[in-house]
Chains A and B, each alone.
Chain A
């Protein structure tokens, strides 16, 4: 089993799982369907192609920088008829950074890594208007599991965010991993297990996720020595005689 790590950083991201109709919400972390779609696109698969091998990968994500949720109010007119389309609300995550991981067969993981280096269709972060701000592919781990790879990766938050938490030597990051199939451990269910991306009939199944946290070192933590020395006490009267 190998693990492929991805860095999902961009000024805007949008990861919908239950969004329908005119209100397009986003989850607070990337969805499996979104990341599998990104990988399939990098490989050049078409919408209707079979993706059972990709959907079988185990998925996990670490929240390096949660970002803020912003709302966009969108109007549009139909290209041909110029009739106004329904007004829609679109939600995005702004200034967020995630590390996503997929675990699976070594050959497939290698293929995906190479596909990300030279993608057939450009990757985007959940919605086509949200390009990544940095290369998406990070590394391939051969020997550690999904949890180990996510726990061992360095903190990818922006410098200003790391400096904001400079009082903390290590920071706790939320990790959301998929439960092993067959296991009956309780968890939250999310309808983002991709079955088909066919534009005529997209289908998603339920999958169980579990939320934990890992601690990673903060490279910009302030050391004790760097703190300002307080001025010493000074009382000149201790050696003087009163009159």
Chain B
């Protein structure tokens, strides 16, 4: 597995073209691999990507992939061709060193959704969680199976009586909306989804499940920049 970091030059027209549509960015990421990705089996490693908007001029694309990518086309369209390229890191080694009980800072951009119906005779429909409270519940419900536990806050740091028990910040709510041509039918379609970014601290409870989460993603819309979790040392 590899983790790749690429800084996007937001002043370029190509960057704006890519950032304005998750569909285009997905295509650009997928075309960084020589071999067209085989249909991934459920739960197996796959190509995941995420955009981190740390500051207005600092927009970074992270890609986690089974194969080593070549982002030359992205550098040409949306990078700094003579001074800045991309960095690829060995992710497999890092993953093999993860053990239960470790504490890490994490970042996850995900698409928290649930399936609901408003009336009894209506079909169930996938619907986005829009409030931070339910978005947090969405993550906390999945943490055990994903192999980690979001750390709790000491009592004196909690600002709310309820709903502020964890070391978790939800920010960067990003409603995305873009056009798409269906591969199977060739018909034009429209996709809209809500991505949010979770920042916090976690403790690994199950190293294998954690490795699976980091390489195959969490939640829906994985092709559209959602579901990639990364770990960093607790600062």
Contacts and interface: CB of A to CB of B under 8 A. Distances in A.
Interface of A: 225, 229, 231-243
Contacts of A236: 3, 62, 107, 230-232
B33 interface: no
Contacts of B52: 234
Contacts of A234: 52, 105, 107, 199, 230, 232
Contact of A231 (B88, B197, B230): B197
B68 interface: yes
Nearest to B229: A236
Given A225-B159, A231-B169, A237 B233 contact: no
Interface residues of B, number: 27
A37 B171 CA distance: 58
A236 B94 CA distance: 11
Given A225-B159, A231-B172, A232-B199, A239 B232 contact: yes
Interface of B: 2-3, 5, 52, 54, 62, 68, 87-91, 93-94, 105, 107, 159, 169, 171-172, 197, 199, 230-233, 235
7 contacts: A232-B105, A232-B235, A235-B232, A237-B5, A240-B89, A240-B91, A242-B88
Given A234-B107, A234-B232, A237-B5, A242 B89 contact: yes
A229 B170 CA distance: 10
B94 A238 contact: no
A165 B190 CA distance: 43
A243 B3 CA distance: 10
A214 B93 CA distance: 66
